[in-house]
């Protein structure tokens, strides 16, 4: 018998969501998960209430589910590079640019939806403007997103895939 403890399998996102979310919030979460599945992205258990969505070994976002709320966080994370600098060529919608500019997350809970596990802050250049003290974990966090915010989240997920493809191409060149 192995000296390591056998890890208990993480619960599936739908099992937890069915227990914790109201019908409206559950439907929105299910729509987002369906979008992820259509784009060959599958949330995998990170903890009992958080699932990570990865593409080519890099995180696109996390989805968290708690008592009557859920959120999408870590989207556009910029710990290793300025996501927005690499993504700017793909972000063409003025509505999305405005949303991003108005909703960058500051560390230490200064805006609703903060991840609560900030790894510090950075000054980042976004669409030609310097934003100071932006959370490195989750510069964009969406708590209980409604339909419009889900549209933005979906756009950012697809843009994240393009950025990751670009990074993979750059890694092959080097």
**What separation in angstroms does the CA of 166 have from each of 39, 61, 83, 86, 101?**
18, 18, 11, 8, 23
5 lies in a domain?
Answer: no
Provide the residue range defining the domain that includes 34: 13-173
8 lies in a domain?
Answer: no
**What separation in angstroms does the CA of 102 have from each of 87, 95, 96, 140?**
17, 11, 10, 10
3 lies in a domain?
Answer: no
The arithmetic mean of pLDDT across residues 76-96, rounded, is 79
Round to whole Å and give the CA distance between 154 and 133: 25
21 lies in a domain?
Answer: yes
Q: Give me the half-sphere count of Cα atoms (radius 13 Å) on the Cβ side of residue 95.
A: 7
Round to whole Å and give the CA distance between 141 and 148: 14
* Whole-structure pTM value: 0.82
Q: Give pLDDT, residue 100.
A: 84
The arithmetic mean of pLDDT across residues 111-127, rounded, is 62
Residue 3 pLDDT > 60: no
2 lies in a domain?
Answer: no
121: helix, strand or coil: strand
Round to whole Å and give the CA distance between 124 and 139: 10
- Number of domains forming the structure of the chain: 1
Which position has the token pair 């699932």? 51
Which position has the token pair 């993480």? 10
Q: Give pLDDT, residue 140.
A: 76
The arithmetic mean of pLDDT across residues 146-172, rounded, is 88
7 lies in a domain?
Answer: no
118 lies in a domain?
Answer: yes
Q: What is the mean pLDDT of the chain?
A: 81
Q: What is the pLDDT of residues 32-69, one digit of tens each?
A: 999 999 999 999 988 888 999 999 988 888 899 999 88
Q: Give pLDDT, residue 81.
A: 62
Q: Which of 34-48, 104-118, 131-145 has the lowest mean pLDDT?
A: 104-118
The DSSP letter of residue 11 is P
Residue 116 pLDDT > 70: no
123 lies in a domain?
Answer: yes
């Amino acid at each position: 018998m192995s000296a390591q403890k056998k890890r208990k399998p993480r619960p599936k996102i739908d099992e937890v969501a069915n227990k914790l979310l109201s019908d409206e919030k559950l439907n929105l979460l299910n729509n987002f998960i369906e979008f992820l599945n259509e784009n060959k992205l599958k949330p995998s258990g990170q903890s009992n209430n958080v699932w990570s969505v990865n593409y080519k070994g890099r995180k696109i976002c996390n989805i968290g589910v708690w008592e009557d709320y859920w959120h999408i966080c870590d989207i556009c994370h910029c710990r290793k590079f300025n996501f927005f600098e690499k993504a700017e060529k793909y972000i063409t919608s003025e509505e999305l640019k405005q949303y991003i500019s108005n909703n960058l997350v500051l560390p230490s809970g200064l805006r609703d939806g903060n991840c609560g596990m900030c790894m510090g802050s950075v000054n980042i250049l976004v669409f030609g403007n310097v934003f100071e003290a932006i959370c490195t974990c989750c510069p964009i966090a969406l708590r209980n997103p409604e339909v419009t915010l889900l549209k933005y989240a979906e756009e950012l997920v697809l843009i994240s895939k393009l950025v990751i493809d670009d990074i993979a191409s750059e890694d092959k060149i080097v």
